[in-house]
Amino acid sequence: MSKNKTVYLCSECGADSPKWQGQCPGCGAWNTLVESVAEEKSASHRRFQSPMSAAKAQPLAEIEAHEAVRISTGIREFDRPLGGGLVAGGVVLIGGDPGIGKSTLLLQTLAKLSERVDALYISGEESGEQVALRARRLGIAASRLKLLTEINLEKILALLKSERPEVAVVDSIQTLWSEQLNSAPGSVAQVRECAAQLTRLAKQIAITIILVGHVTKEGALAGPRVLEHVVDTVLYFEGDTHSSFRLIRAVKNRFGAVNELGVFAMTETGLKSVDNPSALFLSQHERDVPGTAILVTQEGARPLLVEIQALVDSAHGNPRRLTVGLDAQRLAMLLAVLHRHAGIACFDQDVFINAVGGVRIIEPAADLAVALAIVSSLKNRALPDKLIVFGEVGLAGEIRPAPRGQERLKEAAKLGFTHAIVPRANLPRRPIPGIHVTGVARIDDAVRTCSS
């Protein structure tokens, strides 16, 4: 088999070099050159110069657009982050830590799908026997699902072309290798090339391909997020592997909304959809404890109640700031705001913050809950019982409104919470039965409201 020529491209500036070098000849960055397939430039270049082939723009109104036909996965909480189901010709990337349940979920999904469509599971990580064993444990051994254990990209492409399954899973993209490159499987060059080729084929023959990708220690999908640009939908598996709950979050979706969450529980027989997840991330305390605040966060279409825990303790040496499930930079900012605008100093204290249940919170509306949990821990005074909090804190000490405040309050009331501290702009126009809502405009107001 003849090999295409390879070149080394700088991942920072795009300069190319015929051989690998430690430093990019273009921008001088170190260790940025990655192998990739050399494109045949001359032919396309010549065509481009001919006036006959000038591209033609089309009025948007004249383009016929059809709503993409969705193939439901048969698993409701998986359909949700996908935006309602899989799309023919769409490529989905599912990332997550090893052992979080990617293979389990996809095997369950394909088994369900194979009742209605042709489905193919391509495993590069596990042997056929291992997959069959898992299927038996999941109670889906009798499904019509087809399995291929292969890591050679060219062979996989050929099989997809001849068999044309409606849905195919590649588990995982890091195990594949293309004959056109010399680099080892899992290298940036291989991962990118394999994903690009599979994506091209998916569009060409209109099949859905789901790629599994491992997350590196730094939290990126291997190959500095190279894959996220290539595919249509990017989903991340989240959750603490020690707890049984798993979340799937859409971070990019060309066919739907982002930040939709799917919620699952890992059981003896695989992943099960969780019907009513809003109260999952609360821990049960026998009595009021200082340092906790209940946040109502809005993830996609549904509000979730999440307990935010803070521990503020005298520092020995350099004070430490650690967060689990929340942004550490944001914590530093909040501590500064608390000091300047509410007179609460933590510079000689260690501050640890945790979002219960392994959920990751990215919205700024979590600020007020974090701030009040910190104050509660520092003063060793529990916040009032049955209280929920949300709101963004600004650098000037102001409390900014959060989107969809009413829905958050209603969900909290439904779960039996009786008090709320929220941004003044989020005060409901009409009272919500069962919950007394206090609006605050500034961080010092909020702190005072809690301690009175």
The verdict on 266 binding ligand TYD (CB under 6 A) reads: yes
> Of the ranges 54-62, 92-100, 198-206, 379-387, which one interacts with ligand TYD (CB under 6 A)?
92-100
For residues 103 and 109, which CB has a smaller minimum distance to Mg ion in the complex?
103
Least separation in angstroms between residue 338's CB and ligand TYD is 39
Position 272 contacts ligand TYD (CB under 6 A):
no
90 binds, among ligand TYD, Mg ion, none (CB under 5 to 8 A by kind): none
439 contacts ligand TYD (rule: CB under 6 A): no
Among 81, 96, 124, 223, binds ligand TYD (CB under 6 A): 96
Asked if residues 307 and 300 have their Cβ atoms less than 8 Å apart, the reply is no
Quote the least distance from Cβ 81 to ligand TYD, whole Å.
16
Give, for 129, the enclosing helix (H) or strand (E).
Answer: helix 128-137
Q: Which two three-digit tokens encode residue 205?
A: 């023959």
What is the smallest separation between the CB atom of 401 and ligand TYD, expressed in angstroms?
A: 38
Least distance from C-beta 154 to ligand TYD, angstroms? 25
CB atoms under 10 Å from CB of 329, counted, come to 10
The angle, 0 to 180 degrees and rounded to 10, between the axes of the packed helices 328-342 and 367-379 is 60
Can residue 101 be called a binding residue for ligand TYD (CB under 6 A)?
yes
**270 binds ligand TYD per the rule CB under 6 A:** yes
Distances (CA, A) of 136 to 59, 104, 144: 54, 12, 13
Burial class from Cβ neighbours inside 10 Å (0-12, 13-18, 19+) for residue 383 reads buried
**Is residue 100 at the binding interface for ligand TYD, with CB under 6 A as the rule?**
yes
Stretch that binds ligand TYD, among 48-56, 94-102, 319-327, 344-352 (CB under 6 A): 94-102
Cβ neighbors of 349 (< 8 A, separation 6 or more) are 312, 313, 314, 315, 319, 378
| Residue 224 dihedral angles phi and psi, to the nearest 5° | -10, 65
Q: Bridge partners of 37?
A: 6
Asked if residue 104 binds ligand TYD (CB under 6 A), the reply is: yes
Rounded CA-CA distance 291/346 in Å is: 14
Q: Which of 192, 145, 164 is nearest to 88 (CA)?
A: 164
With CB under 6 A as the contact rule, which of the stretches 91-99, 180-188, 408-416, 438-446 interacts with ligand TYD?
A: 91-99
Could you tell me the smallest distance in angstroms from the CB atom of residue 102 to ligand TYD? 3
Q: Which of residues 84-113 bind Mg ion (CB under 5 A)?
A: 103
Which residues contact ligand TYD by CB under 6 A?
A: 96, 98-104, 134, 137-138, 266, 268-270
